[in-house]
Amino acid sequence: MALLAPAVAHAEQKPRDLAMETYRFMEAAQGKLDSWVKNVNKADYFAQFSNPAKTIAAKWPQPLKEEYYDYADCYFALDLLTRYTDKAVADKSWNDPVQVARKTRFGNALRECQRDLRKML
């Protein structure tokens, strides 16, 4: 029975609230991004950033339900962020063209997430 509690808690979170939680996490992370990727100890990175990001991502229903569509940019931005940072931290590939493109797409998706949140006020 205790195993069902987290799923129920996630299901009760409203789409906009989840999008706001996701956005706030990414906004805080964005300022630390280069420092995290280039200078951080891998264990600290995963404990302080990657694992919390994946916990937030796990709250998003898969596949996305229709009521979450208006905020999908927030989920996609978080996915891009974790893919970029996990790979860059693991193999120090932050200057790789694929990684640079992923980081740019993250920035664009984060702006779209912010726009979506403002639009839905």
Average pLDDT over every residue of 59-84 = 94
Residue 106: name the closest of 20, 48, 15, 27 by CA: 27
Q: pTM of the prediction?
A: 0.81
What does pLDDT average to over the chain?
85
Residues 6 or more apart whose Cβ sits within 8 Å of residue 45: 36, 85, 89
Confidence label for 56 from pLDDT (cuts 50, 70 and 90):
very high
- Torsions phi, psi of 7, nearest 5? -65, -40
- Using pLDDT thresholds of 50, 70 and 90, give the confidence band for residue 17: very high
pLDDT at 75 over 90: yes
Q: Which residue has the higher pLDDT, 2 or 113?
A: 113
Tell me the average pLDDT across 25-34: 84
The answer, yes or no, to whether residue 3 has pLDDT greater than 50, is: no
